[in-house]
Structure formats: structure tokens, C-alpha cells
Amino acid sequence: MIDNSMQQLTFIRPEILEWREIGSPKIENDGQAIVKPLAVTRCDLDLYIANGTIPMKDQPFAFGHEIAGEVIMVGDQVTDVAPGDRVIVPFQINCGTCKNCRSGLTNGCTSVPAFSAYGLAQSSGVEWGGGLSDYILVPFANAMLVKIPSQLSLPVAAAISDNASDGYRTVAEPLLRCPGEDVLIVGGLAQSVGLFAVQAAVALGAGRVVYSDFDHARLALAKSLGAEILERRYALGMPLDGQFPIVVDASNIPDGLIYALRSTAACGHCTGISAPGRTIDNIPLASMYMKGITYEISRVHARAEIEKVLQCACAGHIQHQDVITTRVPFRQAQEVMTDPDIKLVFEAS
């Protein structure tokens, strides 16, 4: 049994988050489950929503979406998990049965409104709840929830629900097609995703793994993870540092994206993990066309990536905890959400 009311961290406006008492979720059909979040990592996006860099409407919503926790209750048709199981909760809501979900395109589930996710109600127009709450409702428990292997910590599991899987997918498929190729990761505002991409590229056997950034702390961490580092402040027309078959743009800065695209070798692949602006001038389309490069931009299909990331983590090939820089109790999330640390984890007491 759970209490009728609970605490939820709610975004009010930039720099203002509040703990609010709301009704606890209830199981309403046999395929649902209730999970108690025990570790919630701060997504890179959360920092910029909280500090106002990414503008949001004056419409409060539940906060936090990188979640690991414990199953508390399940509906009668939930067979894959049981109360007491430690689970990863993918941040996107996905049914597991629509055409997109069956194809592994779980970012595009057609059974729910587009962009449905925890902690991001303004994207879909539907409030699914947030990880920084006493409880969350999981609407498609068999499809969504993933048991956490015993050797993995809750903070690592939480990061795998979004950013760690996002970093992994930027290099995994390109390296599968082109084993041993060099990788350039253009670091920046997507702080942890770029560093998780470094880890994945090293683990998956890339040749050179080069990481560029303008932030000394991220550069130092990237070097410790096995990357060559380049201190760069991105600017239009800046000199290039070579041509790379595989490039990741984690800068979330227009000039960083242009640098990434210009640095992609002929017939190479560049993945953008965020949209650094609604429109961007000076994208080098003619050069991209002549070189024949592929540019991919999308949210991660989180649920479809999780098992592959778990395999790497459980085998010891990737130590995701090395990117987590700060541990904070849940109840301090309100005060520290806008701290500039690379990767925070909020832990339940």
C-alpha cells in the first residue's frame, strides 16, 4: 500500500522549483505498475530547463526523467517484473506493441501523444509525472521496465534510462558498420552525453577518439576516459582538426554543429543529439552533398538501446559511474538543480 498523497518536485519557472503535495498514482488497468524512484540522474536538458536557457511556458510540471527505482505494485497482467524488483524506467512512454515500438523506434510510440515522457509534460501536453517524486505510474510495465542487474548501482541504472544510452547509440551503429574508425566528439552543452559517447567509442574499439570542448572540467574528464582532447571555442569558419568518419555533435551550439558537419569525412556519419536552434544559417549543405555524408538527428530510442548498454556495463567495458560527478539527496534537488556540475544524481534516503 502507498499513501494517498506524495511529494513531487515541480518546475514553476526558471530558477524556481518547488516540492508540492499531490495525490499518489493508482493502478487503473492490469498492465500498469507503480515504481518508487530511488535514484534520479539530472539529464543534460534538465539543467537548461531549470536555469531558463531553454524557455518553457508558465505552466508547472513534474520534474526529473532519468529514473531507477523499486517496483511497489503491479497490475494483474504484469508478468515481467514484480514488487521488490529494482528497475530502470525509460524516460519515454512507449507501449511495446505499436508498429514503431516493434521496430525499435520507441521514441515514436503511436499509442500515446507525440513526445510523451516523464518530467517533460510541456513537450507532449500530457503530465506523466516526474522522477523526483515519491512514486510514478508506469502505464506499460511489461514493455517499459527493465530489471537492473545485481552488479549495477542505482545511479548508473538511472543514467542508462536516457543520457548514457544516448551517448552509446551515437557511435555504436556507425562503429558496427565501420569497425575501428576514428571518432570525433564535439562536446559542449550536452555535457554528459558527449562524455558517455567517449566511453562508448573507447569500449567499442574505435581508432582515435578525439573530444573537443571549451570547458576545462569536461576536457579533463574526457582525457581520463581515454580520449585525445582539443580545447576549442566554436566559431564560424574556424580551422578544422581533420576529417573523421564518425562524428558526434554534443555541443548544442550552432557553430559547434557546423564544425561537426565540416569535420565529417566523405561518406561519413554525423549524429546530432540535440537541436541547437530552431533554424541555423550557414549549414554547409553543398559540402555535405559533395562529400556524401549522413547527418542524423533524433532523440534516442531509449527502451530499444538499454539492453545493449547494460551488456557493456555488466561486462565492465563501460564504467558509467566515472561520468557522475555529484551525489545529492532527493530533498536537496530543489536547491542544486541549476549547479553547473557535469552529472548529478539525486538519491532517495
Q: What are the tens digits of pLDDT across the range 73-119?
A: 999 999 999 999 999 999 999 999 999 999 999 999 999 999 999 99
Range of lowest pLDDT (74-88, 180-194, 280-294): 280-294
Domain spans, the chain: 5-162+300-347, 167-297
Same fold yes or no, 5-162+300-347 and 167-297: no
Answer whether residue 1 shows pLDDT above 80.
no
CATH number for the domain formed by residue range(s) 167-297: 3.40.50.720
Which residues is 174 bridged to in the sheet?
none
Identify the pLDDT of residue 7.
97
Share of the chain above pLDDT 90, in %: 95
The mean pLDDT value for 230-237 works out to: 96
Q: pLDDT-derived band of residue 31, with 50, 70 and 90 as boundaries?
A: very high
* Residue ranges with strand state E in the chain: 5-13, 16-23, 33-41, 61-62, 66-74, 86-89, 136-138, 146-147, 183-186, 209-213, 228-231, 244-249, 264-272, 294-297, 326-329, 344-347
The mean pLDDT value for 63-78 works out to: 98
Sequence length of the chain is 349
The mean pLDDT value for 248-263 works out to: 96
Identify the pLDDT of residue 56.
92
Mean of pLDDT over the chain: 96
Fold of domain 5-162+300-347: Quinone Oxidoreductase; Chain A, domain 1 (3.90.180)
The phi and psi torsions of 285 (rounded to 5 degrees) equal -60, -40
Tens of pLDDT, residues 315-324? 999 999 999 9
191-203 helix and 216-224 helix, angle to the nearest 10 degrees? 20
